[in-house]
Amino acid sequence: MNHGTLLVTGGAGYIGSHVVQQLVERGERVVVIDNLVSGFREAVRNAELVVGDVGDQRLVANVLATHHIEAVLHFAAHTVVPESVSDPLKYYGNNTCKTRNLLASCAEAGVRQFIFSSTAAVYGMPADGAADEGTPTMPHNPYGASKLMSETMLRDISATGAMRHVILRYFNVAGCDPAGRIGHSAPNATLLIKVACEHAVGKRASLSIFGTDYNTPDGTCIRDYIHVEDLAAAHLQALDHLRAGGESLTLNCGYGHGYSVREVIDAVERVSGHQLTVVEQPRRIGDCAMLIARSDRLKRALAWQPRYDDLDFIVRTALQWEEKLAHRRA
């Protein structure tokens, strides 16, 4: 069957660029809209890049009409939790209001399939440290709240019959393209595995642990780390689900088990061959002891199976990308 063109918003960013690469590799026609504030032009490989903002309804309407867009995969967002606490209106403006504008443009153009990049931050702090899709949503920061508001808008517009959707709630995304073609290049990163790998290659002088007295086996937070390539594959399967007439879904994206901060540090030391300089800091406000995905629904609904569920492999691909970036700077 000959499918239409896909629009990927934020497709020059970390996760979006990996999804674009997988889409192009299987023969899809892809157009990317990205304002390049946190994305990189060179990360968009073999797809058309339109530099602009997803909140610009005139621009989006023109792209939707010109390219006869079949489906939208929406990644464009601010994602730094501490920044969302210090500047909440920036997050509600960008993540929520601009998503509203994008949805309005899609409805006007008759786009009937929409895949939304959401987050486990919508759950806040589940009592037992694990969340399935029925776990109450109680975000503890404006980032999570901004994404949850967008989920609500998407469900409400879908309820009118205007479109069907898949919402994917990411847990902790890590790693990079195993072939080293694209990766996570954002400056001032806050994601643990990237930060630890930056330290391992000499970009950072030390690595901080925030909280060592949690009720976990080694006292540090436990998180569910999913390789970006496995996450990207879930988006392609979500697209296939919608194309086949599947119902709207909300799905967790994680492996269903976690690693502590100290276990991640051990893996980075093991893979890099370097001992890391670790600085113990007080707990950060809003961090929970453990957050793990229950992702049975993802496997069942989309027949998704992870390929890279191995911490050392995740670290190795992240470290290879940091070494590549360090070589460019040298």
Q: Among all residues, which ones are annotated catalytic?
A: 143
DSSP class of residue 98?
Answer: H
40, two tokens: 């990189």
List, in sequence order, every residue forming a beta bridge with 118; answer none if it has no partner. 169
Q: What is the amino acid identity at position 300?
A: R
Supply 186's token pair. 């954002």
In the chain, which ranges are continuous DSSP H helix? 14-25, 57-66, 81-86, 88-91, 98-109, 142-159, 192-200, 228-243, 261-272, 296-302, 311-329
Asked if residue 184 lies in contact with residue 231, where contact means CB atoms within 8 angstroms, the answer is no
Contacts of 31 (CB under 8 A, 6+ apart): 5, 6, 7, 8, 47, 48, 50, 63, 67, 69
Task: Give the C-alpha separation, 120 to 118, whole Å.
Answer: 7
Q: Give kind and range of the element (H or E) at residue 71.
A: strand 69-74
150 and 167 Cβ atoms separated by less than 8 Å: no
Choose among 266, 268, 269, 256: nearest CA to 220: 266
